[in-house]
Amino acid sequence: MADQPIIKLHDGNMMPQLGLGVWQASIDDARNAIVEALKVGYRSIDTAAIYKNEEAVGQALQETDVARDDIFITTKLWNDDQQNGQQAIETSLKKLQLEQVDLYLMHWPCPEKDTYVDAWKKMIELQQQGLAKSIGVCNFHEVHLKRLIDETGVTPVVNQIELHPMLQQRTLHAWNALHQIQTESWSPLAQGGEGVFDQDVIKQLAKKYSKTPAQIVIRWHLDSGLVVIPKSVTPARIHENFQVFDFRLDKAEVSEIAKLDQGKRLGPNPEEFNG
């Protein structure tokens, strides 16, 4: 197995820098994908209550020979449950067949609902109860993060945000880093690479390193200090996405990819999404 990089979170816990996402995967597809990924060498799996496939993670963990302590499991508190965190995590843990998740994330701030601070206070309690090793958020902007920190004194370890070459969110990434919050990229390949894989710089780098465009983009995330969770249920792509530890992009190449930023969102704007 390739030596994969591990990130140390500010609470002292360790997280693999590359993981498998299972958004929009059915239970069967997700289970098969996770079993395959664990065989390949992945040690981080990212799911969520709203994905409706937490059961798949639990099933895969029962099938694999990899020790539980070697696998990093992330799931998320959905928006409708922000005022019901205790039951939400207990339901997730039952589906996952686990006593504890490694990382529990609040999925969206939903600013109009204005319950995210109370939800965060509950997540702090859940961590103290031992139900989650680490706690963090998804899709939070600086204003939301600052309020959490100011009102609770507890800083999220991770902020998982939409991030790919067409939407690089460098200001938010820098703010996270300044506050020791690890930035994690969702939709890191821009949902299939449309508009990214055909860019000249990506194609040129793929040729230079004898890699695929997807591998170049994943390597760009890694070399930018991001945690990255490409989603796939296709065995060949699961393998391909993991074959990224035998090369690195240099600073000039990372900077060239940075020029692709268009501020182009594929998902909702956290300032406006309250679903």
pLDDT tens sequence across 26-36: 999 999 999 99
Q: Is the pLDDT of residue 2 over 80?
A: no
**Confidence category of residue 45, pLDDT binned at 50, 70, 90:** very high
The CA R_g of the chain, rounded to the nearest whole Å, is 18
221-250 residue pLDDT tens: 999 999 999 999 999 999 999 999 999 999
Question: Is 11 or 192 the better-scoring residue by pLDDT?
Answer: 11
Supply the pTM of this predicted model.
Answer: 0.97
pLDDT of residue 1: 41
Exactly one of 51, 104, 116, 209 is catalytic; which is it?
51
pLDDT of residue 76: 98
| Mean pLDDT of the region 82-107 | 98
Mean pLDDT across the chain: 97
**Confidence category of residue 193, pLDDT binned at 50, 70, 90:** confident
Q: Is the pLDDT of residue 130 over 70?
A: yes
Go through 44-68 and write b for each residue having 16 or more CB atoms within 10 A of its CB, e for each that does not. Answer: bbbbbbbbebbbbbbbbbeebebee
Q: Is the pLDDT of residue 51 over 80?
A: yes
Domains of the chain: 12-193+221-239 (3.20.20.100)
Report the candidate in 88, 25, 35 with the shortest Cα–Cα distance to residue 58.
35
**Confidence category of residue 192, pLDDT binned at 50, 70, 90:** confident
Annotated active-site residue 51? The verdict is yes
Question: Is 192 or 78 the better-scoring residue by pLDDT?
Answer: 78
Q: Was 107 annotated as part of a binding site?
A: yes
> At a CB cut-off of 8 Å and minimum separation 6, what does 178 contact?
none
